[in-house]
Amino acid sequence: MRSIFRFGFTRAAPLFFAAALLAGCIKVDQELSLNADGTGTFHVRYGMKQETISQIDAMSRAGAKENAAATTQSPFQFDEKKVRKDFETYARDGVTLDSFAAAETNDWKFIDLRMKFASLAGLMKTDFLSDRKLTLLREENGNYILEQRPDSPHVPESNADNPAVQDMMKELMKGFHAGIAVRVPGDVLESNGTASGRVVSWTFDLEQDPQALKKAQQLNMRVVFKGDGLNLPGAARPPAPQPK
C-alpha cells in the first residue's frame, strides 16, 4: 500500500476506482502522534464495502489471466498475514506493528492498524507515506514546522471536462470520507487545519464538498508548534541566508 494511504489515494489505480464506482466508496482515518524524543505512533483505520473488495479481487484475477505481468491491486490490504509480513520489512527502519484489528459492520469491512516508529525518517521509508514528503524544520527561534505534501501537486484528471463523468463520480463516490490528524509535542502556533490543543486535523467528505477527493490528494499539511524544552532529532535547520 503506498501512502496514507497504500491505504490511500494516490496509488489507487484505475481498476480500484472502477470497482469503487460500482459498489460504493472508501473511508480512511489516520493520526500521526509525534513524541518529544522524536519517536511516535501512527494509527490508520480504513474500510471498504465487502462488495467492492470482492469486485476488485475478481477484476485483478481476470486482468492477471490476460496479462501475466499485471500487478494492479487494491490500494488497501485486508489480509492480516500480508500486513504482518510487510511489517517484517519495516522493522529494519524502526517501524513496528503495535496492534491489528479487523471488524465488519453491515456491508463494510474495516482494518485498524496501530504502529510505533523510532523516527519520522523511518516512517517515511514505509509504504504508508512513501508518496508524500514529510519534513520537520526547526526555526531559528526554536519553534518547529511539520509539513506533509504530495510528491507532485498535480492530480491526473481523466475525463475531468466530461459533465456526465463528473455527475457519476459525485453520485457514486458520495460516501467517500477521509480524516487526517497530527498530534505534536508542543503548543500549536499556526496551522492550515483545525487545531484543538496540540492536535490538528483535516477532514475530507465528498457529501459536504464535491472537491474533497482532489483536495485530499493535494493536501499540503502544515503545523507550526512551540519548541520550548524540545530537541527533536532529525529536524532540519532553515537554509542559510543568501549573501547580498
Is pLDDT larger for residue 73 or for residue 103?
A: 103
Contact between 172 and 17 under an 8 Å Cβ cutoff? The reply is no
What order do you get walking across the sheet with 132-138 strand by strand? 132-138, 144-150, 221-225, 188-191
**Three-class SS state of 233:** coil
Overall pTM surpassing 0.85 (yes/no): no
Q: How many percent of the chain have pLDDT more than 70?
A: 65
Confidence grade of residue 88 (pLDDT, cut at 50, 70, 90) = very high
Rg (CA), the chain: 19
Max intra-chain CA distance, the chain: 65
> Which position has the higher pLDDT, 166 or 43?
43
Q: What is the domain partition of the chain in residue ranges?
A: 14-225
User: Where do we find the cell 492530480?
Assistant: 155
Q: What is the pLDDT of residue 1?
A: 43
Residue 117 scores a pLDDT above 80: yes
Instruction: Write the DSSP symbol of residue 209.
Output: -
b (16+ CB within 10 A) / e for 49-86: bbebbebbeebbeeeeeeeeeeeebbbbbbeeeebeeb
Above pLDDT 90, what percent of the chain?
Answer: 38
pLDDT at 114 over 90: yes
64 or 217, greater pLDDT:
217
pLDDT at 189 over 60: yes
Question: How far apart are the C-alpha atoms of 217 and 178, rounded to whole Å?
Answer: 11
